């Protein structure tokens, strides 16, 4: 079996830019692609292929074939070829500018198989305003929000503090905490539409869903370390969280999946805020990431066995009993992980 693990930033997607890729998304990109590729490479009878921007010093992934690309035309040509040749393609790319959707469409157009959401689901989830309207229609709680044009001033009658973010954002880029209407006189989005939504206090958390044609699994909820005052900068996370909160988060994530169109054969990330109400009355869905997320780095350390293999098993509807290690894992945005054993009975079974 051949698995093509493609990550846009490290894989040559920015070769048309003269500057070498760097910035807040670079560390997360490296962490995701190297962790997942290494997991696949540990599987017997699996060949892993990668695209690598020739300007970058990529970490060595044992047993993976890395195709170095030097020009944008070479990168897209190899992407199409590897997606067509491979049994599965994992696309890790930001939603902004339609990048993720475009690459997923290419995989489907050449007859490849996405190990992740299909393009219908990616298109809905990539627009945060459209997604929230759909989830609201399905009876799920999301922050109240409105759509703003690129140069539209902030409304006087909105409830502040609020969050202002691009409708197609990724990695907290461009997100602002707005204390009041006069906080920023005019929105700054480089021509992109923005969503203004109410700010909700609580624990920022995420749940990874593994999906297949017959069933879905909700992995343990991860706490997210974000800083609202500094643009919701993502610092990493920890797993597991307190058991009752975890159950609430998993149940909410599975409801989200039921409300979404399209199909899922692979990994999907769902962000939420868990409120203080133990019954979950204050829990809200923030967004859906139709791709791999940085939480994979921590989850791969706490799930017994190989998380990449588990993703494939679910995608192929293979039965199995999955469990968790009795450990507490913290991870940062660059993929550095610390682990600590915790006292508890038997490893938890994952919720389906």
User: 107 with 52: CB under 8 angstroms?
Assistant: no
Question: How confident is the model over 303-318, as pLDDT tens digits?
Answer: 999 999 999 999 999 9
pLDDT for position 184? 64
Q: Which two tokens stand for residue 267?
A: 């990994």
Q: How far is CA 30 from the centre of its chain?
A: 14
Q: Which two tokens stand for residue 56?
A: 């970058």
Give dist(CA 82, CA 79) in Å, integer: 5
pLDDT score of 321 more than 80: no
User: 266 with 224: CB under 8 angstroms?
Assistant: no
Question: How confident is the model over 128-165, as pLDDT tens digits?
Answer: 999 999 999 999 999 999 999 877 889 989 999 999 99
Q: How far is CA 51 from CA 76, 83, 224, 334, in A?
A: 10, 11, 29, 20
Give dist(CA 207, CA 110) in Å, integer: 31
Q: Which residues contact 80 (CB under 8 A, 6 or more apart)?
A: 106, 110
Q: What is the DSSP letter of 295?
A: H
Mean pLDDT of 193-207: 96
This prediction has a pTM of: 0.92
Question: How confident is the model over 287-299, as pLDDT tens digits?
Answer: 999 999 999 999 9
Q: Which two tokens stand for residue 185?
A: 């006189």
pLDDT for position 350? 47
How do strand 194-198 and strand 337-341 relate by DSSP bridges? unpaired
pLDDT for position 118? 96
Question: How confident is the model over 219-268, as pLDDT tens digits?
Answer: 999 999 998 877 788 999 999 999 999 999 999 999 999 999 999 999 99
User: 311 with 292: CB under 8 angstroms?
Assistant: no
Long-range contacts of 297-300, Cβ-Cβ distance < 8 Å, separation of 24 or more: 297/31, 297/32, 297/35, 297/331, 297/335, 297/337, 298/222, 298/236, 298/237, 298/238, 298/239, 298/329, 298/330, 298/331, 298/337, 299/208, 299/219, 299/220, 299/222, 299/239, 300/35, 300/36, 300/39
- 326 vs 231, higher pLDDT: 326
Question: How confident is the model over 95-139, as pLDDT tens digits?
Answer: 999 999 999 999 999 999 999 999 999 999 999 999 999 999 999
β-pair partners for 67 = 51
- 25 vs 142, higher pLDDT: 142
């Amino acid at each position: 079996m051949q698995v093509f693990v493609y990550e846009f930033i490290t894989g040559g997607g920015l070769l048309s830019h003269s500057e070498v890729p760097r910035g807040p998304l670079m560390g997360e990109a490296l962490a995701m692609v190297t962790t997942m590729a290494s997991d696949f490479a540990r599987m017997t009878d699996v060949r892993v292929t990668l695209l690598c921007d020739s300007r970058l010093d990529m970490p060595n992934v044992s047993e993976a074939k890395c195709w170095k690309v030097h020009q944008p035309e070479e990168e897209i040509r190899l992407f199409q070829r590897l997606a067509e040749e491979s049994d599965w393609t994992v696309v890790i790319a930001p939603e902004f500018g339609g990048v993720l959707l475009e690459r997923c469409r290419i995989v489907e157009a050449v007859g490849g198989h996405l190990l992740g959401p299909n393009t219908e689901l990616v298109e809905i989830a990539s627009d945060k305003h459209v997604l929230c309207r759909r989830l609201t229609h399905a009876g799920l709680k999301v922050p109240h929000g409105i759509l703003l044009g690129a140069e539209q001033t902030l409304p006087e009658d909105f409830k502040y503090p609020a969050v202002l973010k691009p409708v197609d954002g990724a990695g907290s880029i461009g997100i602002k905490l707005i204390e009041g209407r006069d906080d920023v006189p005019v929105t700054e989005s480089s021509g992109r539409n923005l969503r203004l939504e109410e700010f909700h206090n609580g624990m920022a958390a995420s749940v990874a869903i593994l999906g297949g044609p017959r069933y879905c699994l909700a992995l343990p909820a991860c706490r997210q370390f974000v800083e609202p005052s500094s643009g919701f900068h993502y610092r990493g996370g920890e797993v597991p969280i307190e058991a009752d909160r975890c159950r609430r988060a998993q149940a909410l994530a599975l409801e989200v999946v039921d409300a979404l169109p399209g199909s899922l054969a692979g990994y999907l990330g769902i962000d939420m805020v868990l409120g203080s109400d133990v019954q979950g009355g204050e829990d809200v869905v923030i967004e859906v990431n139709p791709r791999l997320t940085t939480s994979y780095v921590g989850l791969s350390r706490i799930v017994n066995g190989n998380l990449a293999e588990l993703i494939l098993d679910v995608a192929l509807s293979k039965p199995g009993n999955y469990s968790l290690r009795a450990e507490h894992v913290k991870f940062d945005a660059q993929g550095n992980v610390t682990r600590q054993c915790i006292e508890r009975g038997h490893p938890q079974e994952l919720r389906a």
